Amino acid sequence: MIYFDNNATTAIEPTAVDAMQPFLREHYANPSSGTTFARHTRQAVARAREQVAALLGCEPGEVIFTSGGTEADNAAIFSATQIHPDRKHLVTAATEHDAVLNHCAWLEANHGYEVTRVAVNRDGVPDLAELAAAIRPGQTALVSVMAANNETGVCAPVAQAAALAEENGVLFHTDAVQMAGKVPLRLASTAIHYLAISGHKFHAPKGIGALFVSKRVRFQPMLLGGGQESHRRAGTENVPHVVALGQAAACALRHLEMHEAGEDPVRTLRDAFETGLRALLPGVEINGAGAPRTPNTTSVRIPGAPAEGMLILLDQQGICCSAGSACNTGALHPSHVLAAMGRSPEEARECLRFSFSRFNTDGEIQAALPVIAAAADKMRRLR
Ligand code: PLP
């Protein structure tokens, strides 16, 4: 099997599995307990918080563990709307993940909010001038713009967007689920107030993530109950997964530091894939090619080869990739991300996403390319 679907989820880093094992077996104490037995567990959670903070470039006290990216996004929106109950306007981008879009839509449908969804250009980048014009000082509760898109890898100028929001006294959230672990982050030097990450996108298990909350802003918890996470997220911590998240963060940081000066091997793989595909299939188009992108993602349109058929043929050959977002698998409607980038429904149906990780090899790229080209030829002939 060749796994090129790392934006859907990733294989767990082996050292992260090792790190969590003792917390599934012998160290099962509740970290909130006052016993000596619990001390080790508590220390492990504190260490994981430091590891995640190091990956994000923030302070450990600014990290709240969550059940994943969806919860972190929802908690940020919830917090902002509760802190400013009188502000009934939200700004987001047309290409956001459903974890943000659907919460905004729910507030709009049921709670009297007005939502401005800022358009993106043909490369998928939201327009900063439009964003600035959309912000209503004193009325906008939150600006939420994703750092990197899950379907295309296109990165938004979130540092500038956050600065714009802050200048206007508005809270700023970013969904960095597809950026964390792939691109260095230094949150302390930005105006970002809230930021969501998800462990399973960078080699930690599923069901664990974190929300960064800047120490400069207030936070209203969404989950109420016990005093865990410094009263910001009630519920006994998922200690084994928290530990694994910390270990995966430490590995990702090492990978990023090692390659920051030179070429990132994941980018080299992705670029080799794109070059190879273009050579084999002239006419292939890369979505968002003109914008900064995460180094691991390529969204390609193969004219004349519908993605649905391609997915079946590639799956038969043991190649995993996806059409649009994996979260939308099974849905035949074309991706809202590609539509926002100006793709017609027919064009969007010919788009495939290949997403790589540091566990992929050049051998896999070279093995997959002719298989993809043959599948595309077959689809074109069938047409
Ligand atoms: N945000 C983005 C950009 C994502 O790609 C995903 C998952 O695909 C999520 C949020 C949701 O994260 P989780 O699966 O951890 O809830």
Nearest to 158 by CA among 190, 180, 204: 190
pLDDT computed for residue 332 by the predictor:
55
On whether the CB atoms of residues 329 and 352 are closer than 8 A, the answer is no
pTM flag (> 0.85):
yes
Amino acid symbol at 323? A
Ligand 1 center–CA 138 separation, angstroms: 30
Ligand 1 center–CA 70 separation, angstroms: 6
pLDDT computed for residue 270 by the predictor:
98
Q: What is the largest CA-CA distance in the chain?
A: 69
On whether the CB atoms of residues 300 and 286 are closer than 8 A, the answer is yes
Apex 152 CA angle, 303 and 340, nearest 5: 80
Cβ of 150 closer than 6 Å to ligand 1, yes or no, is yes
| CA of 68, closest atom in ligand 1 | 15
> What is the distance between the alpha carbons of residues 71 and 199, in angstroms, rounded to a whole number?
12
pLDDT computed for residue 263 by the predictor:
83
Cβ of 324 closer than 6 Å to ligand 1, yes or no, is no
Q: Is 327 marked active-site?
A: yes
On whether the CB atoms of residues 209 and 66 are closer than 8 A, the answer is yes
On whether the CB atoms of residues 208 and 65 are closer than 8 A, the answer is yes
pLDDT computed for residue 327 by the predictor:
46
pLDDT by 10s per residue, the chain, length 383: 999 999 999 999 999 999 999 999 999 999 999 999 999 999 999 999 999 999 999 999 999 999 999 999 999 999 999 999 999 999 999 999 999 999 999 999 999 999 999 999 999 999 999 999 999 999 999 999 999 999 999 999 999 999 999 999 999 999 999 999 999 999 999 999 999 999 999 999 999 999 999 999 999 999 999 999 999 999 999 999 999 999 999 999 999 998 888 889 999 999 999 999 999 999 999 999 999 999 999 999 999 999 999 999 999 999 999 996 444 455 557 899 999 999 999 999 999 999 999 999 999 999 999 999 999 999 999 97
Beta-strand pair 297-301/351-355: antiparallel
| CA of 96, closest atom in ligand 1 | 3
The 3-state secondary structure of the chain, one letter per residue: CEECECCCCCCCCHHHHHHHHHHHCCCCCCCCCCCHHHHHHHHHHHHHHHHHHHHHCCCHHHEEEECCHHHHHHHHHHHHHHHCCCCCEEEEECCCCHHHHHHHHHHHHHCCCEEEEECECCCCCECHHHHHHHCCCCCEEEEECCCECCCCCEECCHHHHHHHHHHCCCEEEEECCCCCCCCCCCHHHCCCCEEEEEHHHCCCCCCCEEEEECCCCCCCCCCCCCCHHHHCCCCCCCHHHHHHHHHHHHHHHHHHHHHHCCCCHHHHHHHHHHHHHHHHCCCCEECCCCCCECCCEEEEECCCCCHHHHHHHHHHCCEECECCCHHHCCCCCCCHHHHHCCCCHHHHCCEEEEECCCCCCHHHHHHHHHHHHHHHHHHHHHC
Cβ of 327 closer than 6 Å to ligand 1, yes or no, is yes
Cβ of 198 closer than 6 Å to ligand 1, yes or no, is yes
Ligand 1 center–CA 381 separation, angstroms: 36
Q: What are 200's two structure tokens?
A: 């399973």
User: Which residue's CA is the nearest one to ligand 1's atom 14?
Assistant: 69
Phi (first) and psi of residue 197, to 5 degrees: -135, 160
pLDDT computed for residue 331 by the predictor:
54
Ligand 1 center–CA 39 separation, angstroms: 32
Cross-sheet strand order for the sheet of 140-144 = 63-66, 209-213, 194-198, 171-175, 140-144, 89-93, 114-118
Amino acid symbol at 12? I
Nearest to 278 by CA among 371, 373, 198: 373
User: Which residue's CA is the nearest one to ligand 1's atom 5?
Assistant: 150
| CA of 71, closest atom in ligand 1 | 16
